[in-house]
Amino acid sequence: MPRRGLVAGPDFETFRRRYFTPVEVAQHNQPDDLWVSYLGSVYDLTPLAQKHKGDLLLKPIVEVAGQDISHWFDPKTKDVSSAWCWVCVCVCVCGGGSTGK
């Protein structure tokens, strides 16, 4: 007989968290494992870094690997600030993607 009021919990073998701590993001700080966070989301830029390995325009992104880059963006409009516009264009056009995590 089933017990009332009990529900099955998540399957922890396949459960995917939807949040990451700054410490966890900071562990992904190399070009072959590169995450950044900004404006409350985490992005895996590893494919971008691998695709454009050695490209000088990628250097600012590699230098902030594992860090929050929210200061590059206007928090109200979520637009990139003019000082970092070329970096955002590189991320958007070259294929950086959200981790969805």
- The domain in which residue 24 lies consists of 16-71
d(CA 14, CA 1): 28
Domain contains 35: yes
Question: 5 pLDDT exceeds 70?
Answer: no
Domains contained in the chain, number = 1
Note the pLDDT tens digit of each residue in 40-56.
889 999 999 999 999 99
**CATH number for the domain harbouring residue 61:** 3.10.120.10
Count H helices and E strands in the chain, helices first.
4, 4
Domain contains 23: yes
Whole-model pTM over 0.85: no
Domain contains 84: no
Domain contains 64: yes
Question: 92 pLDDT exceeds 70?
Answer: no
Domain contains 59: yes
